[in-house]
């Protein structure tokens, strides 16, 4: 087991909607970090301003993470402490973070992931579907590999949780209905923790029909029952 004496990188979850969901510990870490790495400095800048946090803010996202990792590790060697945040939720969950964590561990630096906001668990619990065992699939591939991924889940017995865009939800519901059967139970959760939070439950075909008639907006989590 690796032993570390100090923390060089904190992974800090940020609210997915309601700013009150940030933890006191997260605020303390953000106030004390030498540098805050942000997926979008504009989005994180608003959060920091709201809580009157004034720390150096630098960009760290999927398009620049590979070229930035070595530079960040060098600065860790000099004793600097970093806090990584994404636009919303927990870093590394369908957001940048994994690469920096892996390389930091390989280099012997201490890592601390704070508990906090994520859309997965509230959506799963709200769905009313079995949650003692589940599998998180993140976003389905947009094009290449999409059909193969869905077919690989046909026999999955655990409850499945997906992230989805409002622009692709109808397509996903249609494809899952064809693969799993139209009566498979599911739940569409959107705008979790926000003013217009909505959880719509029913069969895949019922959800498809519902959202063909109702406007879709906001971040979406789709929870689907496993095969009985």
Q: What is the CATH number of the domain that holds 100?
A: 3.40.1010.10
Same domain, 154 and 190: yes
Q: Is 13 exposed, middle or buried (0-12, 13-18, 19+ CB in 10 A)?
A: buried
Which of 94, 113, 132 corresponds to the end of one domain?
Answer: 113
Measured CA to CA, the distance from residue 169 to residue 172 in angstroms comes to 5
Same domain, 182 and 208: yes
Q: Look at residues 208, 205, 201 and name the one whose alpha carbon lies nearest to residue 223.
A: 201
Measured CA to CA, the distance from residue 14 to residue 132 in angstroms comes to 26
Other C-beta atoms closer than 10 Å to the C-beta of 133 total: 9
Same domain, 64 and 46: yes
pLDDT at residue 4 in the model = 42
Overall number of domains in the chain: 2
Phi/psi at 160 (nearest 5 deg)? -110, 140
Same domain, 207 and 130: yes
Beta carbons of 9 and 56 less than 8 angstroms apart: no
Q: Strand runs (DSSP E) across 108-184, as ranges? A: 111-113, 134-139, 159-164
Which of 84, 113, 142 corresponds to the end of one domain?
Answer: 113
pLDDT at residue 62 in the model = 86
Measured CA to CA, the distance from residue 225 to residue 184 in angstroms comes to 7
Same domain, 19 and 106: yes
pLDDT at residue 158 in the model = 98
Mean pLDDT by 10 residues, the chain (228 residues): 70 95 97 96 96 96 91 97 96 93 96 95 96 96 94 98 95 98 98 93 98 90 97
CA angle 142, 145, 148 (to 5 degrees): 125
Pairing of strands 111-113, 82-85: unpaired
Q: 98-106 vs 65-77: helix axis angle to the nearest 10?
A: 40
For residue 155, give its domain range: 120-224
- What is the 8-class DSSP label of residue 103? H
pTM of the model: 0.90
pLDDT at residue 219 in the model = 87
């Amino acid at each position: 087991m690796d032993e570390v004496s100090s923390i060089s990188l904190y992974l800090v979850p940020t609210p997915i909607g309601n700013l009150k969901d940030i933890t006191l510990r997260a605020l303390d870490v953000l106030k004390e970090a030498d540098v805050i790495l942000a997926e979008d400095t504009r989005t994180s800048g608003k959060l920091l301003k709201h809580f009157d946090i004034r720390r150096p803010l630098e960009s760290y996202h999927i398009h620049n993470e590979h070229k930035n990792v070595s530079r960040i590790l060098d600065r860790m060697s000099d004793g600097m402490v970093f806090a990584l945040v994404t636009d919303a939720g927990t870093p590394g969950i369908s957001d940048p973070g994994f690469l920096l964590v892996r390389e930091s561990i390989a280099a012997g630096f201490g890592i601390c992931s704070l508990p906090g906001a994520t859309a997965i668990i509230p959506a799963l619990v709200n769905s009313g579907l079995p949650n003692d065992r589940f599998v998180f699939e993140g976003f389905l591939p947009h094009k290449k590999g999409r059909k193969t991924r869905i077919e690989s889940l046909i026999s999955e017995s655990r409850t499945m949780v997906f992230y989805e865009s409002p622009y692709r939800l109808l397509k996903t519901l249609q494809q899952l209905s064809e693969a799993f059967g139209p009566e498979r139970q599911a739940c569409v959760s959107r705008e979790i923790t926000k003013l217009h939070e909505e959880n719509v439950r029913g069969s895949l075909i019922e959800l498809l029909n519902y959202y063909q008639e109702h406007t879709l907006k906001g971040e979406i989590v789709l929870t689907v029952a496993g095969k009985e």
